[in-house]
Structure 1
Amino acid sequence: MFRRTATLVSAIALTMPSAAHAWGQTGHRVIGEIAQENISGKTRAEIELILGEEDLAQASTWADEERSNPSDFWQRDAGPYHYVTVPEGKTYAEVDVPDEGDALSALARFTKTVRDPNATREDRALALRFIIHIVGDIHQPLHAGNGEDRGGNDVKVRWFGEETNLHSVWDSRLIDSRNLSYSEYARWLGREIQPGDTIAWWTADAQVWIAESTQIRDTIYPATEAASPNLSYAYQYEHLDTAEIRLKQGGVRLAAYLDGVFGED
């Protein structure tokens, strides 16, 4: 079986404050807001018992906001929980989970904690916030990285002439081009989600989400070997719809996953 070569250097690099975060605050909050509108009443009540008045949009960015926390958990352990590594031509099932863990292994771990009646409310809150965040992360195509370029962080590009990297484009620059607040964006995208979409997308199987992200990932690299190619209107036209579909799917899947966590399979 193919052994994933996620090195300690890569894990540290992804935990550094300079590294891009999946979707940025706007994207994660859009996913949280869409999910908030799709969870069951029971799930909503269960979440309130753990998080109080904190809604899914607010909770969705917490795992990124804590990256500067000096505790060992945040500086040593939590970095790999934001991504998976799937080399081109492989499926997630064909690779091993690295020793330090990844987003999918963390999702299973935190789900177990949320379901544990003996866990403290504090531990359940941390776990629930991480679940909300991880589901969003997995729907960002470059958080299913190929193991070669740190999820596109090493792919230097210009976005409308400004030096950046491919991960940052998918993290926030594509969706920020809409110039909408997260609540406006969530309402906009939420109106586009048809009943048939919800039915088709309603799956809590994270390996399905990962397979979709890896397929998309391999189509979004600039079609040029030029150093720092300039991405602008043509790239935006080609890929913004895909980014928005992933936001919508992420919101629906987060609702599906949380309903499953709290017994609404």
Structure 2
Amino acid sequence: MRKPALSGFIAASLCLSSPAHAWGPIGHRITGAIADENLSGLARARVRLLLGNEDLAQAATWPDDMRSAPDPFWQKTASPWHYVTVKGDDYQTSDAPPAGDAVTALAHFSAVLRDPKASPDEQRMALRFVVHIVGDLHQPLHAGAGDDRGGNTVSVSWFGKPTNLHSIWDSALIEQRGLSYSEYAHWLSRAITPQEVIAWNQTDPNVWIHESVALRKTIYPTDPALSWDYAYQHRGEVDQRLEQAGVRIAATLNRIFESAPPPRP
């Protein structure tokens, strides 16, 4: 990894605590699997060059998997890159911490994928982060207001077991369906219409964040005892955010690789 390329991000993140992962492993794999089905021919070839037999469902969880690594890069530097703070209705760059956030990291790693001087290892890491971050920004509690760590400090119960609201949206609502990631992704992919692919072909993260903030404002429960009623109320919203994330991961990669120079021989 070329450290100078990341120098703009290595800052005062030592005092920041990050929320739990956005979407659990199943959710991220779903978004990656949907993205795989929506890649252009060029983007698919470029992804294959970088990842080999690793598909986007596998790549999507890698930045979370690496958060257990002891290296300070993973423990401190990269921690803020999974979420944004949005104090109003729309993202403001002034709300980003000095160490960066998901939006600044996405811009950085997108640039690495376009950089003909970047090494294959740097671009491989950048690709995995782009896939992951786009998914993160579609989880409504990863566009938090900055007052409850994205719902991590909001105590609730899920079918009688104590947990927090962030965990409900990361994993519980998805796992409650009882599907593998491939089954879930197949169900959702079949439901996405051509009209929706066209409408969701939006690569501006500010649009995704605005949607997440609007949804975030509707998901805080009045009764902390959550079960079937809460799952029924928000199931369609979870499904749509997973679908949109998958379509937009592909749209982002399609756009990046359309403007990227050919890879080095």
- Structure 2-normalised TM-score? 0.90
User: Partner residue of 1:11?
Assistant: 16
Which position in structure 2 is the counterpart of 1:171? 170
1:217-263 deviations in Å (ceiling 9; x for gaps): 01100124xxxx21011111111110110000000111100001101
1:93 shift after superposition: 3.2
Alignment of 1:44-123 (within 5 A): 44-87=44-87, 89-93=88-92, 95-123=94-122
Could you give the per-residue CA deviations for residues 74-93 of structure 1, whole angstroms, max 9, x where no partner exists? 11200000000001x34113
SS at 2:156's partner residue? strand
Indicate the residue corresponding to 2:5 in structure 1: none
Alpha-carbon distance in 2 for matches of 1:146, 1:9: 21
- Residue 194 in 1 paired to residue 199 in 2? no
1:59 CA drift (Å):
0.2
5+ unaligned residues in a row in structure 2: which ranges? 1-11, 261-265
Cα deviation, 1:180-199, whole Å, max 9, x if unaligned, reads 00000000001100111111
1:37 deviation in Å?
0.3
SS, match of residue 22 in structure 1:
coil
Contact 2:89 2:213 in 1 (8 A): no
SS in 1 for 2:95: coil
Is 1:26 equivalent to 2:26 in the alignment? Answer: yes
Q: Which deviations, in whole Å up to 9, do the C-alpha atoms of 1:19-60 show, x marking residues without a partner?
A: 531110000000000000001111000011111111100000
Report the secondary structure of 1:46's partner residue.
Answer: helix
Q: 2:82·2:102 contact (CA, 8 Å) conserved in 1? A: yes
Assess if the C-alpha contact under 8 Å between 1:10 and 1:150 holds in 2.
Answer: no
Q: What percent identity do the matched residue pairs reach?
A: 55
Distance in 1 between residues matched to 2:114 and 2:215, nearest whole Å: 32
Quote how far apart the aligned CAs of 1:94 are.
6.7
State the Cα distance separating 1:69 from its structure 2 match. Answer: 0.9
Query: How many pairs are equivalent?
Result: 249
Partner of 2:133, secondary structure, is helix
The Cα shift of 1:8 comes to 5.3
Which SS does the other structure have where 1:150 is aligned? coil
> Aligned in 2, Cα 1:122/1:183: closer, same or farther, shift over 3 Å?
same
Give the conservation status (yes or no) of the 8 Å contact 1:135–1:254: yes
**TM-score, normalised on structure 1?**
0.90
Name the amino acid aligned to 1:71.
D
Structure 2 CA distance for partners of 1:196 and 1:8, relative to 1, 3 Å: same
Distance 2:15 2:74 in 1: 15
Say which of 225, 231, 236 aligns to 1:230: 225
- Aligned residue in 1 for 2:123: 124
Structure 1 residue ranges, 4+ long, deviating more than 4 angstroms after superposition: 7-10
Whether the 8 Å contact between 1:157 and 1:230 is mirrored in structure 2 is: yes
Is the 1:30–1:251 contact (alpha carbons within 8 Å) kept by the matching residues of 2?
Answer: yes
Distance 1:205 1:158 in 2: 35
The question of whether the paired residues in 2 share the 8 Å contact of 1:91 and 1:211 is answered with yes
* Structure-1 residue corresponding to 2:8: none
Match of 1:242 in 2: 237
